[in-house]
Amino acid sequence: MAFNIVVCVKSTPSTTALAVDPSTGKAKTDGIQFGINPFDEYAVEEAVRLKERFPGAKTTALALGPESADGAVREAIARGMDAGAVAVLPGWEESPYAAAIGLAKAILKLHAESPVHLVLFGKSTNDMASGLVGALVAARLDWPAVISVKKIDALDEKEATVHRMMEDGVDVVKTALPAVIGTVKEINEPRLPSLKGKMAAKKAALKIFKDSDLGVAAEAAAAVKAVALEKLSPLPPRPAGVRVDGASPQDKAKKLVEILAERRVI
């Protein structure tokens, strides 16, 4: 069955221990190693498993951002994806709304070349963590979206049955294709890149989309202004704890209860 699956990936810092520049209110990323967003690894793995499940399926990793975003795409190829594309739109990745505009347009370009059946996302990113982009892309494409999916069950060229995690259980949802699916960590266990995959990723010729190809710069600029990250600030230091002394465990317990009662904890 000739499924065509696109996985949207993002290049993010490989660590969350980033210092913040107080003069700019932005994270200091000089010298920081970037890699594929950890949550996107599950979406990539699911696409590769679907390719193995349905021989003939085609998988493409798509990233948006500066030219260096190709690193996440090549890592996805190293993990088993067939091809890759980058929407070179620096700065757009900082706004979920602008990112959705660029990604949706790039997906439509891929869809025009070969009809896309599924677009997969990780649940969020480890830098912006909005969790909005998948649903925003679906809205712009006017395709159905199912978020928090832990299992892709029955699948054919017209519809998919998926299991969606909810606070009080699991919904079994049937959706028409093409559709956007947001995955969660429970869906699988990502594999590590193979040596063969790394060699393929290094040699892969990626599709490059620029604004001249997508033509959405003005719309995205408005989206960036509509919702913008003003500044970051580090967490305040944790205050020192209180040591409870006493001659015996019973004496310490009594003093602890008095402190908690004084602070109206109990």
CATH number at residue 126: 3.40.50.620
Provide the Cα torsion 33, 39, 44, 47; round to 10°.
-170
Q: Has residue 22 got a pLDDT over 90?
A: no
pLDDT of residue 1: 59
Token digits of residue 79: 């993990």
DSSP-derived pairing of the beta strands 169-176 and 11-13: unpaired
DSSP-derived pairing of the beta strands 159-166 and 179-183: unpaired
Residues linked to residue 64 through DSSP beta bridges, in sequence order: 87
Token digits of residue 14: 């490989």
Residue 231 lies in a domain: no
Residue 128 lies in a domain: yes
Token digits of residue 66: 């500066």
| Terminal-residue alpha carbon distance, the chain | 62
pLDDT digit string, tens, across residues 158-196: 999 999 999 999 999 999 999 999 999 999 999 999 999
Q: Looking at residues 70-80, what average pLDDT do you find?
A: 97
pLDDT digit string, tens, across residues 212-262: 999 988 888 888 777 777 777 777 888 888 889 988 999 999 999 999 999
The answer to whether the bond into 190 is cis (omega within 30° of 0) is no
Residue 42 sits in the same domain as residue 88: yes
Residue 258 sits in the same domain as residue 198: no
Domain that holds residue 208: 4-226
Q: What percent of the chain has pLDDT over 90?
A: 72
Residue 217 sits in the same domain as residue 250: no
Give the number of domains in the chain. 2
Token digits of residue 80: 């088993």
Residue 12's SS3 state is: strand
Residue 61 lies in a domain: yes
Residue 116 sits in the same domain as residue 28: yes
